[in-house]
Structure 1
Amino acid sequence: MMNAWPQTLNILEKTVNPGLFQVWIKPLDAEAADGRLTLFAPNAFVASWVRDRLLETIAEAATQAMGERPAIDIAVRPRAMQSAPCPEQAPGARPGGNGKGAPGGNGNGGAPGRAPAPEQLGLPSLVPQGLNTLSWRFGFDDFVVGPCNELAYVAAKGMTRGGLDFDQMFLNSAPGLGKTHLLQSIGRTMAQASNRSNVRIAYLTAEEFATQLILAIRSREMERFKNRFRDNVDVLLLEDIHFLQGKERTQDELLETLKALQSRGCKVVLSSSFLPRELKDVDDHLASRLCSGFLATIDRPCYDTRRRILESKARQHQVALPADVSDCLAEHLTDDVRQLESCLQSLVLKARLLGEAITMDMVAQVLRNYTATDTGRVSFQRIMEHICRSFGIEPTALASKSRRRDIVLARNTAFYLARMHTDMPLKQIGSQFNRRHSTVLKGITNVERELRLQTPLGRQIDSVVGRIKTP
C-alpha cells in the first residue's frame, strides 16, 4: 500500500490535463491503508475544489493502482505536514500565514493571547511551464501539411524563426484538426532553439488561466500572478480562448497581460474553435486585441491529406499499412484527425491481438464503428434523431424551455454535433432550438471542456458523438 499514491500519481499524470495535474493534484499528499485513501490538500479551497471536480477521476486511477476501488477522504493537510517551507515562500514565513512569526510567539506574529490572524489560502504552483517541466507531445516534424492547413503551418513555423511582421497569431479550427499540435510544435521548437537555461514559455488553456487567476485573487497574491504572466513570460501559448466568454474579470486580466507582453515584444499564440467575430460576451477591447495579429484557419483535411496522415500515424505505430487499406480509410473517415487516429489504433490493436495481418475484411469490420454505410456529411435531421435516440427524449424537448439536466446535456451535444458535421452558422443552429447564438456557443464550449478533461460526463458525451455515423 506504500506505493499506492505514487502509482496513482503516475497514472493521473498520463491521463489528466497537464494543467489540472500541476495545479490541483500534484500539491496533494496521501496515505493509503485498509482499502482507504486519505488525501491531504494544502488548504480548504483546494480540498473543496478537488472533492467537487476530481474525486471520480482520482478514484479511477487509484483503483488501477490498488487493484480495488478505495474509499477516499479529502482533508486539509495538518500543520505538522506543513513545516517544510514552500519553495516560493520567503525564509521564516509560515505556510498560509503572514510571514511575521516571532520566536517564542504563538505563530501568528503577535503577542500571546491575540486572536489568530485569518489564514490565507496557499496558492498552488503558477510558474509557467517551460522546457524543464513540459513534455511536448508534438512537433513540426510529425505534422502532415496539406491545402487545409498549409497557411497555419507556415505561419506557426515562422513564429519560431522570427523576422515576421507579427508577434501574435490566432489559430481557428473545428476540434481535432491540429490546433494543439501546432501550439505544442511552436513551444517545443522555441524551447529547443533557446540557449537559455530557463525557457520562459507558458502553455495552458484559457480555463487554466482563469482558475489560476481565481486562486491568486482568493489567496491575495495578484501581484505574484501578474509578475509571472506579464514579466516572466517570453512566449504565451493559450488554448480555447472561447472559454472566457462572459468572464469579465478574467478578460480584463488577459487584456492587460497581452498588452504587457506586446510592449515587451513577446510572442503570443491563441487558439479557439470559433473565430473572434463569433465570440459573444467578450470585451470590445479584448476582441480587438484578438484580431490584431495574424488569423489562420485550419479546414478539414482533403482525401490526399487524410491518406498521408494515416501513413504517418502508421509509421509511428511501426505498422506497414497496405495502400488499399489507407485509401479505404481515407475515403470513409472524413471528420477530423482524431477520428483517423482512433480508427487506425483500433485496427492495429485488433491485428496484433489476433496475430493477423491487416486485411480489407478487418478494415470493414473496424469501420463499422466509425462510419455509416453512406459516406456523405451527417445531416441536421440525422443529428436530431441520433440525439433523441441516445438520450431517450422527444424532439420537442430539445426546443423547449426545459432546464432539466439531461435535456440541457442533450441539447448541448446536439449543438456540438451540428457545429462539427454541418455548415450551419451558430445563429441558424440556435434557431432550430429556439435559442440565441450565445447560448449555442456556451453549450459547445461546455461540451468541449468535458471532452478535453475526459470526465465521466465527457466520456458519456464522447460515446454519443462517436456513434453518430454508426448505422
Structure 2
Amino acid sequence: METVWNNMKTVLKDVMDNKNFSLWVKPLQFLDADEDTIYLGCPNKFSRNWMQENYSSFFQSQLSKIGCNDHKVIFKVLPHKESIKCNHNGGNGNGRQLILPNMPKKIRAGEKYLNARFTFNKFVVGENNEFAYSVSKALANGSHFPYSSLYLMAQTGLGKSHLIQAIGNTILKKNPSAKVLYITTEDFTNEMIYALRNNLITQFKNKYRKVCDVLLLEGLHFLSGKEKTQIEISYTLDSLLNDRKMVIFTSPLMPEEIPNMKKMLISRFTSGVITSIEKPNFQTRLNILKQKALEREISLPEDVACFMAENLTQDVRQLEGSLDSLKAISFFLKKEIKVDLAKQIVKQITPDKHLAAVEDIQKVVCKYFKIDRDALKSKSRKKIITYPRSIAIYLCRRYTDKSLESIGHSFNRNHSTVLYDEEKIKKNIKVDDGLRREVEFLCRQIEDRIA
C-alpha cells in the first residue's frame, strides 16, 4: 500500500504547483494501511486539520485516477519524535513545518489571541445582523452608550465570534494598554480549577475582577450545571459591572434557556443589551460571498455567486467552505470558475439526504444501550439514561429535518435542552474516542435503515 501512496505523490506533484506540494504534501509520512484506507501522518495538528478541510476530496479524486476508487485517506498527527525526523520527507530541512503564507495575525488578549481579521470593516452587514453590528461597534468605539454589557446570541457560524473579537480588536487598536481578556467559559472553568488546586485562587480573582478592563466571554451555554463556576462568574461580573468595566458574552441560547443556570446569573446576563443574529437572507449571502471571494483573491462571476447564494443557506462557514473548495478545485484541476463547477461544490456540501424518523433513531439507540424507549422520554438524570438520550437527540438533529421543538417533544424536553445536548455531543465527539466510535456505529445503523 505504501507503493500506492508513492504513486499518488508522483501524480500530485504533476498537478500541484511546487510551493503547495512542498508545503503540504512533502511533509506527509505513510503510517499504515488496511484493505481500503491509507493513514498519513502530518507534522502537527494544524497541518492535519488543513489537509482534512482542504485536500480530502482532492486526494480522493487522485486516488480514483490511479485505480483506487474504493480507498480513502485518513490524516493523523505524527508523534513528536516522528515529526522532528521528517526533514527527509520535505519541509525546510530542520524538521519543522514551513512558515505558512498569508496567515491571519493574532492579537494577544489575556491567555488567548484575537484574530486580527475579525474587524468591523470585514463584517458583512445585513438585515439579520444589523442591530448586533451597530451595538457592538458603538460599544467598542466608546460612543455614548448607556450599557456596559452585551449579550450576543446566535447559532454556530453566523458571526458572533467575529463581532466579539472585532470589539476586542477595536479597543486594543485605540488603547493598546487596555487589559482585554478573551476566553471561553470552558477555559475559564479549567483555569479556576487549576487555581484552586494550586493555591492560586487569589491571583485568579484579581486577574478577572481587578486587572481586567474588558472581559470577552464566549460560549456561556457550557456553564450549564457547573455550579461553582457560575458562582465565581457571578462575583466576577458584580465586580466588573460595579466598576463600569465592559463585559461581552456569546451563546447559541438565551440566558433563561440554558439548562441548570442559576437565576442570579441569568439576571446579570440580562442586565445589559441582548441581541441576536439570524441566518442571512439571499442578498446578505450574496454580499458575503463577494466579500469573502475578494479576500481570497477569487474572481467570482455574478451568475456563480447568485447560484451559490441561492443554494447555500446554512451559515457563513458554509459559504466560506464553498469558496475554499471552489478555489482549490479551480487551481489544482485547472478548471474555469463557472456555474457547472459551482454545482459540483454545492452537491458535495449539501448532498441529497435520506431522512430518518425520530422513532427509528430512538429504537436504534435503545437497542444499542439496552434501555427502554420510555426511559429516553423520562425525567431521569441518571447517566445511564442521559448519555444515550443526548446521543439520540444529536442523531435526530443530524438525520431528521424536524425542528428543535418537534424533537424536544419526542423526548419530553424543551428546544433549549435539545440544542444544548446537540452542542455537547458535537464538542465531546472531537476529544472522546469512545463516544466517537459509538456515534459512528449508530450512524452506520441508521444509514443502513434509510439507504
Query: Which TM-score band applies after superposition, normalised by the shorter structure?
Result: 0.5 to 0.7
SS at match of 2:182: strand
Q: Is the 8 A contact 2:375 2:385 kept in 1?
A: no
Per-residue CA deviations over 1:288-337 (Å, capped at 9, x if unaligned) read 11111100000000001001111111111101101111111111111111
Equivalences for residues 316-327 of structure 1 within 5 A: 316-327=295-306
- Tell me the SS of whatever aligns to 1:169: strand
Match of 2:265 in 1: 286
User: What CA RMSD, in Å, does the superposition of the two structures yield over aligned residues?
Assistant: 4.2
Quote the Cα distance in structure 1 between the aligned partners of 2:227 and 2:157. 28
Counterpart of 2:168 in structure 1 is 187
Amino acid at match of 1:449: K
Determine the structure 2 residue equivalent to 1:411.
Answer: 392
Is the Cα–Cα contact under 8 Å of residues 399 and 433 in structure 1 kept in the other structure? no
Q: 1:147 to 1:239 in 2, by over 3 A?
A: same
SS at match of 2:375: coil
AA partner of residue 446 (structure 1) = K
Could you tell me which of 127, 141, 148 is aligned with 2:121? 141
Matched, 1:178 2:156: no
**Identical aligned pairs, as a percentage?**
31
Q: Deviations over 1:6-35 (max 9, x none)?
A: xx999457889xxxxxxxxxxxxxxxxxxx
For residues 404 and 266 of structure 2, the distance between their equivalents in structure 1, rounded to whole angstroms, comes to: 23
Distance 1:304 1:386 in 2: 38
Q: Where does 1:5-44 land on structure 2 (aligned, <5 Å)?
A: 11-12=44-45
Residues 199-240 of structure 1 deviation map (CA, whole Å, 9 limit, x = unaligned): 311101110111111111111111010000000110100011
The answer to whether the Cα contact below 8 Å between 2:152 and 2:277 also exists between their aligned partners in 1 is: yes
Match of 1:430 among 408, 416, 440: 408
Q: Deviations over 1:381-426 (max 9, x none)?
A: 657499789999799989563748995564242365499x65433x
Residue 294 of structure 2 corresponds to residue 315 of structure 1: yes
| Distance of aligned partners of 1:351 and 1:58 in 2 relative to their CA distance in 1, 3 Å threshold | closer
Question: C-alpha distance in 2, partners of 1:372/1:385?
Answer: 23
Give the CA deviation at 1:177: 0.6
- Return the letter of the residue paired with 2:173: Q
Amino acid at match of 1:293: G
Is residue 316 of structure 2 the alignment partner of residue 337 of structure 1? yes
In structure 2, do the counterparts of structure 1 residues 459 and 223 end up closer, same or farther at CA, with 3 Å as the change threshold?
A: same
Contact 1:148 1:300 in 2 (8 A): yes
SS in 2 for 1:401: helix
Contact kept in structure 1, 2:391 and 2:425, CA below 8 Å? no
* SS in structure 2 of the partner of residue 142 of structure 1: coil
Report deviation, 1:372: 4.4
Q: What's the CA shift string for 1:353-399, capped at 9, x where partnerless?
A: 111211222112121112246xxxx99x6574997899997999895
**1:304 corresponds to:** 283
Alignment of 1:309-388 (within 5 A): 309-372=288-351, 382=356, 384=358
Contact 2:184/2:217 (CA < 8 Å) preserved in 1?
yes
Q: TM-score, normalised by structure 1?
A: 0.64
- Give deviations 1:249-288, integer Å, cap 9, x for gaps: 0000000000100111110000101011211211111011
Contact 2:356 2:399 (8 Å CA) reproduced:
no
Cα distance between partner residues in 2 of 1:255 and 1:130: 20
Q: Distance in 2 between matches of 1:321 and 1:390?
A: 45
Which AA in structure 1 matches 2:138?
G
- Following superposition of structure 1 onto structure 2, how do residues 54-133 of structure 1 map, counting pairs within 5 Å? 66-67=85-86, 129-130=109-110
1:240 aligns with 2:219: yes
Structure 1, unmatched stretches of 5+, are 17-55, 69-127
More helix as a share of residues? 2
Distance, in Å, in 1 between the alignment partners of 2:44 and 2:235 is 37
Aligned match of 2:102: none
Contact 2:258 2:417 in 1 (8 A): no
When residues 135 and 149 of structure 1 are mapped into structure 2, their CA distance, relative to the original with a 3 A threshold, is: closer
